């Protein structure tokens, strides 16, 4: 057997091959197909007609798409602030707990390991106007939570985001905590000698030292916010009246309900470019010497 | 009617409830009526159970005065008995369909096996055709439905022959009208645009001749 077939490099490729093979058919091939289908009016099973950039023109006129993009931006901003701040504070406080810390870590992380359908059903039940808190308050003669926040167009998006954040923030706690444990204790000891307060130690030692992990978490949030789908689909299906519609949900509806597969591919391509821009932006920052 | 709170008290609660809730509300005086197809007969009968309340059914009234006052039945066709064009034994398949449909009693037996809630064929039944244990409300449906459809007083639900895009639009975008984000006229204009596009794309599903 030729030597290059048994070299370490070749063996690495043998192990990688199954993953690459599956990835090609499950991810790469459909993605490439989407790039082509976005220029067609394919409905998923009929004839494929080339329509040029018609789908893109339609997309910029699409009222629901514009609304969905706006919701994705709101979603991203919410996830970049609320769970990040809460997770940072809780992780920092946890570093000071010596006994029972594992218990808190488990409790905070628990929603993250639950399936999205379970999380959603729990919260939908809690806010159910008949069987949940609303019904209970009604029985006590109190008019509170009589309407589910998932069913009001003013609150639907925020209510869904709340459930997803409840599930997600425990994950951030764990990765921030991991970063904080890697900070050299001598820095804190020096700060103690200098009389630094807990906040000053957090601001001037912890935060700068965990910056790579912190920035990574922000990148993850920004990228994961783009295809966010499951919580919206399960809890509201983008409604009522598209008040919680996000881009991935709109794509699903176009592809599998309205059977506008060509148009849905156009939405997918736009999402792809948006993620590409974000990744490119952070790649540039890294080249400029940022620790990201 | 939905945005006015005739169902579930208000629009938001209507969005929050599922079919179990709707059925339960109907059976417990929470709502005055339940808009559902014949597949709801059995669930309704079960939910009322031993209650002293009773229930009955009526076809949806026709709101267009030009269409007359005769009741109109909406056929919610969710499946067909068809023969595949590539079938190796098309004649044999046709014989099976003929065998099932040529005998009224046999067809009724199939309907009965589905609780008289589905597979309802508009055949001219008489009282003598039915099992004495059949719910009289279901029996009345089968006989009156056959008469109405024989007179051409029937239509179809949106999911039977609507093309995908106008079909989704009519139920999904109705929420936008209820929310007050668009006017009914804008809703109808969008519906027209989607129908025109479906026609242009040759996406209309052929409707059977009356």
Q: pLDDT digit string (tens) for A52-105?
A: 999 999 999 999 999 999 999 999 999 999 999 999 999 999 988 888 888 988
CB B153 within 8 A of CB B72: yes
Shortest Cα distance, chain A CAs vs residue B169, angstroms? 8
Q: A242 — contact with chain B (CB < 8 Å)?
A: yes
Gyration radius from chain A CA atoms: 24
Contact state of B164 with A240 under an 8 Å Cβ cutoff: no
User: What's the structural domain count of chain A?
Assistant: 1
**Section A171-190 average pLDDT:** 93
Domain co-membership, B93 together with B63: no
Give the one of B168, B178, B181 whose C-beta lies nearest to A258's C-beta: B168
CB A57 within 8 A of CB A264: no
pLDDT above 70 for A292: no
- Containing B198, the helix (H) or strand (E) segment is helix B184-200
Domain that includes residue A198, residue range: 62-122+158-287
Give the one of A240, A259, A260 whose C-beta lies nearest to B179's C-beta: A240
Domain co-membership, B102 together with B151: yes
Average pLDDT, whole number, for chain B? 88
- Nearest chain A alpha carbon to B201: A41
B157: region left, alpha or beta (phi > 0 left; psi from -120 to 50 alpha): beta
Measured CA to CA, the distance from residue B194 to residue B192 in angstroms comes to: 5
Contact state of A148 with B201 under an 8 Å Cβ cutoff: no
Q: Within a domain: residue A192?
A: yes
**Section B81-102 average pLDDT:** 93
Domain co-membership, B170 together with B137: no
**Count of CB atoms within 10 A of residue B203's CB?**
17
Q: Within a domain: residue B97?
A: yes
Q: How confident is the model at residue A151 (pLDDT cuts 50, 70, 90)?
A: very high
pLDDT above 90 for B64: no
Give the one of B16, B21, B175 whose C-beta lies nearest to A150's C-beta: B16
Q: Within a domain: residue A102?
A: yes
Per CB-CB distance under 8 Å, the chain B contacts of A242 are 175-176
User: What's the structural domain count of chain B?
Assistant: 3
**Section B105-113 average pLDDT:** 88
- Compare A285 and A270 and report the one with higher pLDDT: A270
Measured CA to CA, the distance from residue A65 to residue A266 in angstroms comes to: 11
* Mutation choice for A interface testing from B10, B11, B12 by most A CBs within 10 A: B12
**Section B112-120 average pLDDT:** 84
**Section B32-57 average pLDDT:** 90
Per-residue pLDDT tens digits for B159-209? 888 999 999 999 999 999 999 999 999 999 999 999 999 999 888 888 878
Q: Within a domain: residue B5?
A: no
Residue A230 tokens, joined? 């499951």
pLDDT above 70 for A291: no
- Nearest chain B alpha carbon to A235: B16
139-158 in chain A: CB under 8 A from chain B: 146-148, 150-153
- Collapse the DSSP code of A23 into the 3-class scheme (helix H, G, I; strand E, B; otherwise coil) and give the result: helix
**Residue of B132, B138, B129, B111 whose CA lies nearest to B41:** B138
Domain that includes residue B15, residue range: 11-67
Q: Within a domain: residue B61?
A: yes
B12: region left, alpha or beta (phi > 0 left; psi from -120 to 50 alpha): alpha
Percent of chain B that is helix, strand, coil (3-state, to 5): 50, 5, 50
Q: Within a domain: residue A167?
A: yes
Q: How many CA atoms lie within 13 A of B189 on its CB side?
A: 6
pLDDT above 70 for B37: yes
Q: Within a domain: residue A13?
A: no
Residue B7: per-residue pLDDT: 76
Domain co-membership, B50 together with B19: yes
Contact state of B16 with A41 under an 8 Å Cβ cutoff: no
**Section A16-28 average pLDDT:** 92
**Section A242-254 average pLDDT:** 96
**Residue of A120, A80, A60, A94 whose CA lies nearest to A219:** A80
- Collapse the DSSP code of B73 into the 3-class scheme (helix H, G, I; strand E, B; otherwise coil) and give the result: strand
Give the one of B16, B164, B201 whose C-beta lies nearest to A148's C-beta: B16
In this prediction, what percent of chain B has a pLDDT beyond 70?
A: 100
pLDDT above 70 for B25: yes
107-126 in chain B: CB under 8 A from chain A: none
Q: Within a domain: residue B103?
A: yes
Measured CA to CA, the distance from residue A265 to residue A263 in angstroms comes to: 5
Residue A188 tokens, joined? 């804190």
CB A174 within 8 A of CB A109: yes
| CA B5 to chain centroid | 23
In this prediction, what percent of chain A has a pLDDT beyond 90?
A: 75
Residue whose tokens read 């488990």: A106
Domain co-membership, B92 together with B142: yes
pLDDT above 90 for A31: no
Give the one of B17, B164, B176 whose C-beta lies nearest to A241's C-beta: B176
Residue A268 tokens, joined? 């997918």
Measured CA to CA, the distance from residue A148 to residue B18 in angstroms comes to: 13
Residue B120: per-residue pLDDT: 84
Q: B189 — contact with chain A (CB < 8 Å)?
A: no
Q: Within a domain: residue A43?
A: no
In this prediction, what percent of chain A has a pLDDT beyond 70?
A: 99
107-146 in chain A: CB under 8 A from chain B: 127-130, 146
Contact state of A150 with B21 under an 8 Å Cβ cutoff: no
CB A218 within 8 A of CB A107: no
CB B57 within 8 A of CB B144: no
Contact state of A147 with B176 under an 8 Å Cβ cutoff: no
Residue B1: per-residue pLDDT: 74
**Section B105-123 average pLDDT:** 85
Measured CA to CA, the distance from residue A223 to residue A37 in angstroms comes to: 24
Q: Within a domain: residue B1?
A: no
Measured CA to CA, the distance from residue B154 to residue B178 in angstroms comes to: 28
Domain co-membership, B166 together with B110: no
Q: Within a domain: residue A106?
A: yes
DSSP H helical ranges for A24-150: 29-37, 54-61, 63-95, 101-113, 116-126, 133-139
Residue A237: per-residue pLDDT: 94
**Count of CB atoms within 10 A of residue A92's CB?**
20
Shortest Cα distance, chain A CAs vs residue B13, angstroms? 6
Angle separating helix axes A211-225 and A156-181, nearest 10 degrees: 150
**Residue of A127, A130, A149 whose CA lies nearest to A138:** A130
pLDDT above 90 for A1: no
Measured CA to CA, the distance from residue A107 to residue A5 in angstroms comes to: 50
Per CB-CB distance under 8 Å, the chain B contacts of A253 are 168, 172
Dihedral sign computed on CA atoms, order B143, B149, B155, B158: positive
pLDDT above 70 for A165: yes
Q: How many CA atoms lie within 13 A of A155 on its CB side?
A: 12
**Residue of B30, B77, B80, B74 whose CA lies nearest to B53:** B30
Residue A149: per-residue pLDDT: 95
Q: What is the CATH number of the domain that holds A203?
A: 1.10.3720.10
Shortest Cα distance, chain B CAs vs residue A86, angstroms? 30
How long is chain A?
Answer: 292
pLDDT above 80 for A2: no
Per-residue pLDDT tens digits for A208-238? 999 989 999 999 999 999 999 999 999 999 9
Domain co-membership, B61 together with B33: yes
Q: B148 — contact with chain A (CB < 8 Å)?
A: no
Q: Within a domain: residue A164?
A: yes
Q: B179 — contact with chain A (CB < 8 Å)?
A: yes
């Amino acid at each position: 057997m030729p030597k290059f077939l048994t070299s370490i490099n070749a063996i690495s490729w043998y192990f990688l091959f199954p993953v690459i093979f599956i990835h090609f058919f499950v991810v790469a091939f459909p993605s490439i197909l989407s790039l082509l289908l976005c220029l067609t009016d394919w409905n998923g099973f009929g004839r494929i007609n080339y329509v040029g950039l018609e789908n893109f023109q339609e997309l910029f006129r699409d009222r629901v798409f514009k609304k969905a993009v706006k919701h994705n931006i709101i979603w991203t901003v919410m996830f970049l602030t609320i769970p990040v701040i809460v997770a940072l504070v809780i992780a920092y406080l946890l570093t000071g707990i010596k006994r029972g810390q594992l218990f808190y870590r488990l409790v905070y992380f628990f929603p993250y390991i639950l399936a999205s359908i379970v999380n959603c059903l729990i919260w939908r039940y809690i806010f159910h106007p008949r069987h949940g808190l609303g019904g209970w308050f009604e029985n006590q003669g109190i008019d509170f939570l009589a309407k589910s926040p998932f069913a009001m167009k003013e609150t639907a998006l925020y209510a869904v985001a709340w459930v997803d954040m409840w599930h997600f923030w425990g994950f951030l706690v764990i990765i921030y905590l991991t970063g904080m444990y890697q900070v050299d204790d001598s820095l804190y000891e020096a700060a103690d000698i200098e009389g630094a307060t807990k906040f000053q130690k957090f601001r001037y030692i912890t935060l700068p030292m965990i910056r790579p992990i912190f920035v990574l978490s922000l990148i993850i949030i920004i990228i994961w916010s783009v295809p966010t789908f499951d919580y919206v689909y399960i809890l509201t299906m983008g409604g009522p009246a598209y008040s919680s519609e996000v881009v991935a949900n709109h794509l699903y509806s176009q592809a599998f309900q309205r059977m506008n597969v060509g148009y849905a591919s156009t939405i997918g391509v736009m999402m792809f470019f948006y993620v590409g821009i974000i990744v490119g932006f952070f790649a540039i920052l890294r080249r400029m010497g940022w620790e990201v | 009617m939905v945005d006015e709170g005739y169902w579930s008290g208000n629009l938001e609660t209507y969005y929050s409830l599922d079919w179990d809730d709707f059925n339960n509300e109907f059976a417990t005086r929470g709502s005055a009526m339940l808009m559902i197809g014949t597949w709801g007969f059995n669930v309704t009968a079960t939910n009322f159970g031993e209650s002293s309340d009773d229930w009955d059914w009526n076809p949806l009234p026709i709101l267009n005065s030009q269409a007359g006052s005769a009741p109109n039945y909406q056929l919610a066709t969710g499946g067909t008995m068809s023969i595949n064009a590539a079938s190796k034994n098309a004649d044999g398949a046709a014989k099976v369909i003929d065998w099932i449909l040529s005998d009224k009693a046999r067809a009724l037996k199939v309907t009965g096996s589905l609780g008289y809630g589905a597979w309802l064929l508009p055949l001219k039944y008489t009282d003598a055709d039915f099992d004495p244990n059949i719910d009289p409300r279901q029996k009345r449906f089968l006989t009156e439905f056959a008469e109405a459809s024989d007179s051409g007083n029937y239509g179809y639900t949106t999911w039977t022959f609507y093309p995908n895009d106008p079909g989704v639009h009519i139920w999904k975008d109705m929420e936008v009208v209820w929310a007050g984000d668009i006017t009914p006229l804008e809703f109808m204009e969008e519906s027209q645009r989607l129908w025109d596009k479906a026609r242009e794309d040759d996406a209309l599903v052929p409707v059977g001749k009356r």
